[in-house]
Each structure stands twice: as structure tokens, then as C-alpha cells.
Amino acid sequence: MSEFFTSAALSAGYILIGMALCYASRKVRGLLPRWGGGEAGMVAGKSEAAALDYGAYYLAVLLSLGGAVTWASKDPASGLAEAAGFGMLAVLLLNASVLLAERTYLARWKLAGRIKAGDAGAALAEGAHYIALGLLILGASWGDSGGPAVMVCFWLLGQLFLWAALAAYLKIFRIDMPAQLENKNFPAALSMAGSVIAFGNIVRASIAGPFLGWGRSLLEASAFFVFCFGALLGARWLADAWLFPKATFNKEIFGSAAPNKPAAMLDAMLFIGISALLGWAIG
């Protein structure tokens, strides 16, 4: 019975830490000109895009805390202190991830201006990236088997993996996402959101695990990532052939004058589901 009360107390403590980190992340985000005053439309009830953007950001913060929670000490004082310390590092890495992404491979998407204009599709695209980045930070949080230095290094590796997966996907399927956002193609944003979350999940699975030395860990992470990305694309091809035989997802979502929202929903859910199976398989 005492174990139950200890677990309950730890759970309550982690919830408090999670909410405190959301508050801290809000303050960190507010210091940056890119997001200054972004909550105004959400609080006034006038911007669904702002609400989606902030909601995904807070979800990413909580996801990134999950790594520390899984390995933290069972001793209440030590466990909560470890989770709080690594959680704050995760918040800083999350914001650094977003800034890095939006100054490099997401720069042409112009998400900030679109979200401020109330574009829910842009908010969905950015929110999916928050969630993917939170997942990769979760995977990089190896705790006492690696420490903060290993976490930072594999966070950076995960960011490179996420960029590579997105760039390859857009190239292979010839998708011009900035043009789709410009045309306010919400199904395209929905489909892409599912793909990005799926990529984030396979990156998480690829970089997670005990630290076994730089050479072995880097090699295994890269091999798992390449395999999982290839498997995702193979599953996408099978879905086109078996589940959507009279058309293709890309044609219905990205190449149609009247984009197919149900097809985008199916595409996004399938991608996320397959990534979950891959994560369990290699975990």
C-alpha cells in the first residue's frame, strides 16, 4: 500500500512540474519577437489558429518531459529534482529546435505570418512540428545512462533526422508545401501534419535507448532511422494500392482542384499508426 501512495505522490509531483514547465515555456516563448503577443487572439476567443498553435506547443513541452519521468529516481525528492532539471533543459531545447527549424527548412513555409492571419492550416503544420520536436527530445532524454551532454548531442542528431525525412518525403512525392499553404489547402496541411508527427515518432524511436558509446549508438540510431523511414514509405505505397485503389493519396490531397479532406484524414492517421508500430517494433 505504501508503494501506491509513493507512486501517487510522484505522479502528482510530475503533474505540478509539467504545468510549471508549461508556464516557464510560455515565458520563454514570450521573450522572443517571433511569438510576442501571440496569445491575445486566443484569449479573446478570436483565433482558432492561435489556440491550435499554443496547444500543440504545450503538448510538446509535456511530451519532452516524459523522457525524464521514465528514468528518474523512485525516491520522491531525487526523482522530482531530476525531472525538473531535465524538464527545463527540454524546454530550452524545444524552443531552440523551433527557432532552428523555422530559420532553415521551414523558412519558405512562412508559418508565423499565416498563423497571425488566422490560417488554421498553417497552425496545424506548425503544431505538428512542435509535437514531432517534443517526441525527438523525449527520445534524446537518456538520463543517467548518458547525461545532459548526450541528450544535447542526440537532440541535434534527431533534428537532422527530422529535416532529412521531411526533405526526402517532399522531394520523392514532389510536394510544394509553401504553394499548398498559399492556396489554403487545409487537407494538404492535415496530411502533412500526420506525416511530420510520424517522422518525429520514428526519430524518437531511433535515438532512444541506453547510451552504448558514441560509435555504436550513432550507428544504430542512423540504421534504425533509415529502416523506419523506408518502411513508412513502403506502407504509404501499400495503402495506396490496397486501401485507396482507385486513386492515390497525393493526387486526391495535393493535386486536385477540390482537395479531398477525408483522404487527408485517412492518410494522416495511417502514417501515425504505422510509425507507432515501427516504434514498438524497434523499441
Q: Decide: 60 and 127 in contact? Cβ < 8 Å.
A: no
pLDDT tens-digit readout, 25-49: 888 887 776 665 555 444 544 678 8
N-terminal to C-terminal alpha carbon distance within the chain: 31
Distant-in-sequence, close-in-space partners of 230: CB < 8 Å, separation ≥ 6: none
Q: Decide: 22 and 61 in contact? Cβ < 8 Å.
A: yes
CA distance 199 to 162: 6
Distant-in-sequence, close-in-space partners of 140: CB < 8 Å, separation ≥ 6: 67, 93, 150, 151, 152, 154, 155, 157, 158, 207, 208
Q: What is the DSSP letter of 256?
A: -
Other Cβ atoms within 10 Å of 199 Cβ, number: 29
pLDDT for 226: 96
Distant-in-sequence, close-in-space partners of 192: CB < 8 Å, separation ≥ 6: 125, 128, 175, 177, 180
DSSP character string of 112-170? HHHHHTT-HHHHHHHHHHHHHHHHHHHHH--GGGT-HHHHHHHHHHHHHHHHHHHHHHH
Of residues 195 and 28, the one with the higher pLDDT is 195
pTM of the model: 0.91
Domain map (residue ranges) of the chain: 29-57+93-282
CA 279 to each of CA 86, 167, 193, 232: distance values in angstroms, whole numbers, following the listed order: 23, 21, 18, 11
Lowest mean pLDDT segment, chosen from 29-33, 192-196, 249-253: 29-33
State yes or no: pLDDT of 190 exceeds 80: yes
Place of cell 477540390: 258
- CA 269-58-132 angle, to 5 degrees, is 40
The candidate with the shortest Cα–Cα distance to 64, out of 90, 88, 99, 83, is 90
Of residues 255 and 130, the one with the higher pLDDT is 130
Lowest mean pLDDT segment, chosen from 13-27, 31-45, 107-121, 162-176: 31-45
Most confident of 23-32, 191-200, 232-241: 191-200
